[in-house]
């Protein structure tokens, strides 16, 4: 991505950070302390595979320990390197502060193409990587708690949790060493969909503010908005699916590794997702135009662009040609600092990554709390809540009988009102609340300060202030 002398990903994050701190009044020492990455551990380890030893390189970076544990995903991809892991760890610090999850920022990565290995091989590699990190407390329920990211998911998290438990047989909180686990291994309902769900909630909240929508030149609601998504993986798939199925958005473009699909009348997200699963890519999918030059579709006309794959995809080479008036950064760092300058100058509204994809870490926080409390959310109160609601329904039914034809309960009321919230409802409610509250904090800064003209700077101001307050409280 580093064409036309663009800064690296980490430098790009630092440039955006610098733009924000220039508007603040922090002591220079504290500013530097917050910006720098505390430590990055590099490990090279061998695994015997297919009759010979293969060496892998992995990283775990800790950006800020103003709160512990530190938190951040583990990525499996060939592009993983120290600069990328450090940039992602920094973004985790700011993200956690913005959405008020009580964590410092961290990130991990393994340089590997997971598609080149079968399940058993991947398990061996993942367990060995987890062993290397756990023995240095870089996986630990009270110090460092990883989660899924690109190329990893529930399966890898279950292996990591099990590896940690084998190494710490008496740790009663062992399951809290990693989040994003399957439900039967200590996970939480709604974690797999969480990041995509958070993107949906972020957009809903944006559209609840007509004055913000107007700044992008759009109007109305999400209904009927044309959306292009890059990357139909965990984040992109869930975001696109929910926006289409629940908000009436029309997914006109889907960009994947092997090109892009385009259909102005809307693509069936579920069908495309199943096609990719079965054939490894979008090529050949019926009912859509296919172009091999996928990235070109980023430049197509649409209302909302959702980059949900990798960093640096909107850069100095294509920023001028991006037509979407609203971009929501579902991926981390999809817009370089240079491209951000160009788009801001053009009036494009960007909902920044540290907010847009915070749904994952938010629900990870709920999972970690669930693991530490050793009880499923809702278990104690659900039936009690239902019993209390039953009292109201009984009274209403009495009134119904008394009033005869003059009044009756709406048909669905009883069923809906009686149902107490289970874990999934509670998780979604907590996530929705988090996304709304965080948006409002950015919105306030965006509108109240004349020197802030974009949501990213507003997000940095809110989060840096919180990190600074933590450091101050510690006496630093
Ligand atoms: P994933 O591996 O599930 O999906 C990534 C998708 O992008 C895949 O479908 C892949 O084929 C596609 N892709 C890869 N290279 C591409 C290219 N050059 N062009 C188009 N598509 C390409 O990963 P994910 O977990 O969905 O993560 C995506 C982004 O979201 C990353 O930036 C990640 O850091 C960020 N993120 C993920 C989570 C999470 O909970 N998983 C949370 C926060 C942020």
Ligand 1 centroid distance, CA of 409 (Å): 47
Q: What is the DSSP letter of 233?
A: S
| Burial of 463 per CB tally in 10 Å (0-12, 13-18, 19+) | buried
d(CA 419, CA 414): 9
Q: Indicate the top mutation candidate among 12, 234, 312, 331 to test ligand 1's pocket, ranked by most ligand atoms within 8 A of CB.
A: 234
Q: Which residue has the higher pLDDT, 107 or 1?
A: 107
d(CA 436, CA 198): 10
Average pLDDT over residues 366-391: 96
Q: Is 21 in the pocket of ligand 1 (CB under 6 A)?
A: no
Q: Is 257 in the pocket of ligand 1 (CB under 6 A)?
A: yes
Residue nearest to atom 20 of ligand 1 (CA): 256
d(CA 57, CA 79): 11
Question: Of all atoms in ligand 1, which is nearest to the CA of residue 295?
Answer: 19
* Residue 410 belongs to domain spanning: 381-421
Q: What is the DSSP letter of 335?
A: B
Place 1 in a pLDDT band, splitting at 50, 70 and 90: very low
Note the pLDDT of residue 28.
Answer: 82
Percentage of the chain exceeding pLDDT 90: 96
- Is there a single domain that holds both residue 340 and residue 201? yes
Question: Of all atoms in ligand 1, which is nearest to the CA of residue 334?
Answer: 32
Q: Is 233 in the pocket of ligand 1 (CB under 6 A)?
A: yes
- Is there a single domain that holds both residue 244 and residue 300? yes
- Is there a single domain that holds both residue 143 and residue 254? no
Note the pLDDT of residue 474.
Answer: 83
d(CA 146, CA 179): 6
pLDDT greater than 90 at residue 475: no
pLDDT greater than 90 at residue 2: no
Question: To 5 degrees, how large is the angle CA 400–CA 403–CA 408?
Answer: 40
Residue reference for tokens 């590896």:
163
Note the pLDDT of residue 3.
Answer: 56
Place 346 in a pLDDT band, splitting at 50, 70 and 90: very high
- Is there a single domain that holds both residue 204 and residue 122? no
Ligand 1 centroid distance, CA of 101 (Å): 22
Q: Is 107 known to be catalytic?
A: yes
d(CA 349, CA 195): 20
Q: Are 132 and 117 in contact (CB under 8 A)?
A: no
Q: Is 198 in the pocket of ligand 1 (CB under 6 A)?
A: no
366 inside domain: no
- Is there a single domain that holds both residue 45 and residue 62? yes
Note the pLDDT of residue 177.
Answer: 98
Note the pLDDT of residue 215.
Answer: 96
Average pLDDT over residues 421-430: 96
d(CA 373, CA 274): 37
d(CA 27, CA 378): 45
Q: How far is CA 243 from CA 261, 306, 357, in A?
A: 18, 11, 15
Average pLDDT over residues 250-269: 98
d(CA 93, CA 69): 11
Peptide bond between residue 69 and the one before it cis (omega within 30 degrees of 0) = yes
User: What distance, in Å, lies between the first and last C-alpha atoms of the chain?
Assistant: 37
Ligand 1 centroid distance, CA of 166 (Å): 30
Average pLDDT over residues 46-55: 97
**Into how many domains does the chain fold?**
3
- Is there a single domain that holds both residue 221 and residue 183? no
- Is there a single domain that holds both residue 156 and residue 290? no
Average pLDDT over residues 254-265: 97
41 inside domain: yes
Count of helices and strands (H, E) across the chain = 16, 12
- Is there a single domain that holds both residue 101 and residue 218? no
Ligand 1 centroid distance, CA of 152 (Å): 10
Average pLDDT over residues 460-466: 98
* Catalytic-labelled residue, pool 107, 225, 241, 370: 107
Buried b (16+ CB within 10 A) or exposed e, 327-336: bbbbbbbbbb
Q: Is 151 in the pocket of ligand 1 (CB under 6 A)?
A: yes
- Is there a single domain that holds both residue 45 and residue 177? yes
Q: How far is CA 356 from CA 6, 10, 456, in A?
A: 24, 19, 10
Percentage of the chain exceeding pLDDT 70: 99
> Hey, what are 429's tokens?
């409610």
pLDDT greater than 70 at residue 27: yes
The secondary structure of 275-334 as a DSSP string is: HHHHHSSSTT-SSSEEES-GGGGGGS--SEEEE-S-TT-B-TTTGGG---SEEE--SSS-
Asked which of 139, 166, 187 is the last residue of a domain, the reply is: 187
User: What length is written for the chain?
Assistant: 476
- Is there a single domain that holds both residue 136 and residue 76? yes
- Is there a single domain that holds both residue 198 and residue 344? yes
**H-run or E-run covering 398:** helix 382-403
Buried b (16+ CB within 10 A) or exposed e, 411-440: eeeeeeeeebbebebbbbebbbebbeebbe
pLDDT greater than 70 at residue 452: yes
The CATH number of whichever domain residue 346 belongs to comes to 3.40.50.720
Q: Which of 198, 231, 84 is nearest to 74 (CA)?
A: 84
Q: Is 232 in the pocket of ligand 1 (CB under 6 A)?
A: yes
Question: Of all atoms in ligand 1, which is nearest to the CA of residue 147?
Answer: 40
Ligand 1 centroid distance, CA of 376 (Å): 29
3-state secondary structure of 439: helix
pLDDT greater than 90 at residue 411: no
**Torsion sign across C-alpha atoms 461, 145, 153, 77:** positive
pLDDT greater than 80 at residue 476: no
- Is there a single domain that holds both residue 175 and residue 198? no
22 inside domain: no
**H-run or E-run covering 364:** helix 359-373
The 10s digit of each residue's pLDDT in 56-86 is 999 999 999 999 999 999 999 999 999 999 9
* Lowest model confidence (mean pLDDT) among 23-27, 123-127, 245-249, 298-302: 23-27
Ligand 1 centroid distance, CA of 355 (Å): 16
């Amino acid at each position: 991505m580093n064409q036309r002398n663009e800064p690296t990903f980490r430098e790009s994050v630092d440039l955006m950070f610098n733009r924000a701190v220039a508007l603040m009044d922090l002591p220079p020492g504290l500013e530097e302390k917050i910006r720098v990455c505390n430590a990055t551990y590099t490990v090279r380890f061998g695994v015997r595979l297919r009759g010979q030893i293969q060496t892998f390189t992995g990283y775990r970076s800790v950006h800020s320990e103003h709160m512990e544990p530190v938190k951040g995903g583990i990525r499996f991809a060939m592009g993983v390197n120290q600069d990328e892991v450090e940039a992602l760890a920094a973004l985790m610090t700011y993200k956690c502060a913005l959405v008020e999850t009580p964590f410092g920022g961290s990130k991990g990565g393994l340089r590997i193409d997971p598609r080149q290995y079968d399940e058993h091989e991947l398990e061996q590699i993942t367990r060995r990587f987890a062993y290397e990190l756990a023995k240095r407390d870089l996986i630990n329920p009270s110090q460092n708690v990883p989660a899924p990211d690109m190329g990893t998911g529930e399966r890898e998290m279950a292996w990591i949790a099990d590896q940690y438990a084998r190494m710490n047989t008496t740790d009663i909180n062992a399951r809290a060493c990693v989040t994003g686990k399957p439900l039967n291994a200590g996970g939480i309902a709604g974690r797999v969909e969480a990041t995509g769900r958070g993107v949906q909630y972020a957009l809903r909240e944006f559209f609840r503010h007509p004055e913000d929508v107007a700044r992008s030149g759009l109007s109305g609601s999400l209904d009927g908005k044309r959306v292009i998504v890059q990357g139909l993986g965990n984040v992109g798939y869930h975001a696109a699916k929910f926006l289409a199925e629940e908000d009436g958005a029309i997914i006109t473009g889907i960009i994947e590794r092997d090109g892009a699909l385009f259909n102005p009348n809307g693509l069936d997200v579920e069908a495309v997702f199943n096609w990719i699963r079965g054939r490894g890519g979008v090529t050949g999918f019926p009912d859509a135009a296919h172009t091999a030059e996928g990235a070109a579709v980023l430049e197509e006309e649409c209302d909302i662009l959702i980059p949900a794959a990798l960093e640096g995809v909107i850069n100095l080479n294509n920023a001028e040609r991006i037509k979407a008036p609203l971009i929501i950064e579902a991926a981390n760092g999809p817009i370089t600092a240079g491209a951000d300058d160009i788009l801001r100058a053009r009036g494009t509204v960007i909902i920044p990554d540290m907010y847009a994809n915070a749904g994952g870490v938010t629900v990870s926080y709920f999972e970690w709390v669930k693991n530490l409390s050793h009880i499923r959310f809702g278990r104690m109160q659900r039936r009690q809540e239902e019993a209390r609601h039953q009292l109201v329904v009984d009274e209403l039914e009495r009134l119904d009988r008394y009033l005869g034809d003059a009044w009756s309960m709406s048909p669905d009321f009883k069923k809906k009102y009686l149902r107490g919230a289970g874990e999934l409802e509670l998780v979604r409610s907590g996530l929705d609340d988090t996304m709304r509250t965080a948006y409002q904090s950015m919105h306030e800064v965006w509108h109240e300060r004349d020197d802030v003209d974009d949501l990213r700077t507003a997000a940095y101001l809110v989060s840096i202030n919180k990190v600074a307050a933590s450091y101050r409280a510690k006496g630093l």
